[in-house]
Amino acid sequence: MDYLEITGPTKLHGNVKISGAKNAALPLIAMTLLANNTVKIGNMPSVVDIKTLLKLIENLGGTFSFKDENTVEINTCCLTNTKATYEIVKTMRASILVLGPLLSRFGHCEVSLPGGCAIGQRPIDLHLKALEQMGAKITIHAGYVQAEAPDGLKGAHIIFDKITVTGTANVIMAAALAKGKTTITNAAREPEVVQLCEVLKNSGVSIEGIGTAELAIYGTDRRLVDIDPFDVIPDRIEAGTYLCAAGISDSTVTLENVRPDHLEAVTGKLEEMGFTFDITENTMTIHPTDTIKSVNIVTQEYPGFPTDMQAQFLALATQAHGTSTIEERLFENRFMHVSELQRLGADIKLSGHTATVIGPSQLSGTDVMATDLRASSAMVIAANIAEGVTQVHRIYHLDRGYENLEKKLGDLGAKIERLRE
């Protein structure tokens, strides 16, 4: 198993190119199940989660080929199979994204239940309830969701009790081939959902309310759509992670290929902490501050502060002067990185869903474990300013979602090496 060895403290400097967003690319790959042509997608991040979903497409009978490292062509015209098996789904929960498109295209499918997850229960009840409202008959049998709609799905009025990102994406894709109009109230407004809507709209599916919590989708009644080539939007979470890596190490770093407008909640909190920015349409430079100020954060759905940036800000708060609080509202168990940051010397107290951080703390290198994808990047950020050598183990989490992390950080001046246990 690979691990990262990081020697600190080091300052970072220079430019880093942000990759395509994993969480945008996943629904967009699932969306190719609605296409009657070969779909060319650029700015595809080269990370394990993407390969996992492409493998699932292949298992279903689709084909894909990479034109270069970040450009893939996917063809699902001749799909032969509508069963997404446990072997794949258990490795990546987002595989559930094939449920909506498979069901709307074929009128039946089977998708394994994703099972437990390190950061919380993460049920899919809202996905299933919405599809049932659209006319699907759903049964859970032997660990699989078995869904049927022999006459196709029908438009419906879906009201999500809770905002769900992949739930919204699943219903949008189901609605795209359904008969009639589907409306979604309390839809997720994440930029990744917006891109899914825009690509479908450009392909002839009429969608109103894009970017709002009220969507209306006019289905094609099972007519597959022609999807033009497009590029995946930049990864706002990867971008935010590099901003935290720069902030914690008093560094000036420029992000390239970024969408600053997708990062406003993150830059807002960094500004409260004292950092300053130079921003253009697609670049951001972060400058250090003499004193990092403490901050209070509550995670929320977009456009609020993203839960996927919570761990990285927790690492950053260890160097803020005073008491910071970070409240996690989305996932009940997303604080496993706290005990690992404590091993590095952080002063953090956990009470219910709130972490209280007292800073600044002198961090010292030691062995730590990556516990989930974003928690892993928090370890790397903290290790870069810890005195001495830190070994970050179980980095397969990182490989799921960060393209060339050690190369990008190494190019910025970090002393980081991938080694084998």
The residues that are catalytic are: 117
Q: Among 123, 204, 229, 388, which residue sits at the site for ligand UD1 (rule: CB under 6 A)?
A: 123
Candidates 32-40, 65-73, 116-124, 263-271 — which segment interacts with ligand UD1 by CB under 6 A? 116-124
DSSP code of residue 17: E
- Contact between 398 and ligand UD1 by CB under 6 A: the answer reads no
**Binder of ligand UD1 out of 12, 16, 26, 147 (CB under 6 A):** 26
Q: What's the closest the beta carbon of residue 140 comes to ligand UD1, in angstroms?
A: 13
Q: Where in 75-104 is the site for ligand UD1 (CB under 6 A)?
A: 94
Shortest spacing between CB 306 and ligand UD1, in angstroms: 6
Taking CB under 6 A as the criterion, the residue among 127, 179, 189, 397 binding ligand UD1 is 127
Q: Which of positions 266-325 make contact with ligand UD1 (CB under 6 A)?
A: 307-308
Q: Which stretch binds ligand UD1 (CB under 6 A): 53-61, 157-165, 263-271, 355-363?
A: 157-165
- Binding ligand UD1 (rule: CB under 6 A), the pick from 16, 34, 126, 370 is 126
Site string for ligand UD1, 173-202 (x = CB under 6 A): -------------------x----------
Query: Minimum CB separation from ligand UD1 for residue 46, in Å?
Result: 17
Phi-psi region of 122 (alpha: psi -120 to 50; beta: other; left: phi over 0): left
Count the residues of the shown chain that bind ligand UD1, applying the rule CB under 6 A. 21
164 lies in the site for ligand UD1, by CB under 6 A: yes
Angle value at C-alpha 125, between 121 and 131, nearest 5 degrees: 150
**Considering beta carbons, is residue 23 or 312 the nearer one to ligand UD1?**
23
Helix axis angle, 264-272 to 236-248, nearest 10°? 10
User: Minimum distance from CB of 335 to ligand UD1 (Å)?
Assistant: 14
Cα(342)–Cα(318) distance, rounded to whole angstroms? 10
For residue 253, give the nearest of 264, 241, 261 by alpha carbon. Answer: 241
φ, ψ for residue 332 (rounded to 5)?
-75, -15
- Residue 224 and residue 205: Cα distance in Å, rounded? 10
Instruction: Identify which of residues 328 and 406 has a Cβ nearer to ligand UD1 in the complex.
Output: 328
Residue among 199, 157, 201 nearest 180 (CA): 157
Under 8 Å between Cβ of 212 and 241: no
The answer to whether residues 193 and 184 touch, using CB atoms and an 8 Å cutoff, is no
167 binds ligand UD1 (CB under 6 A): yes
What's the rounded Cα separation, in Å, for the pair 293 and 319? 9
What does each C-alpha distance from 96 to 8, 106, 120, 123, 170 come to in angstroms? 40, 16, 16, 11, 8
| Residue ranges of E strands in 204-360 | 206-208, 214-218, 230-231, 252-256, 276-279, 283-287, 296-298, 322-327, 347-351, 354-359
Interacting residues with ligand UD1 (CB under 6 A):
23, 26, 94, 120-127, 162, 164-167, 192, 307-308, 330-331
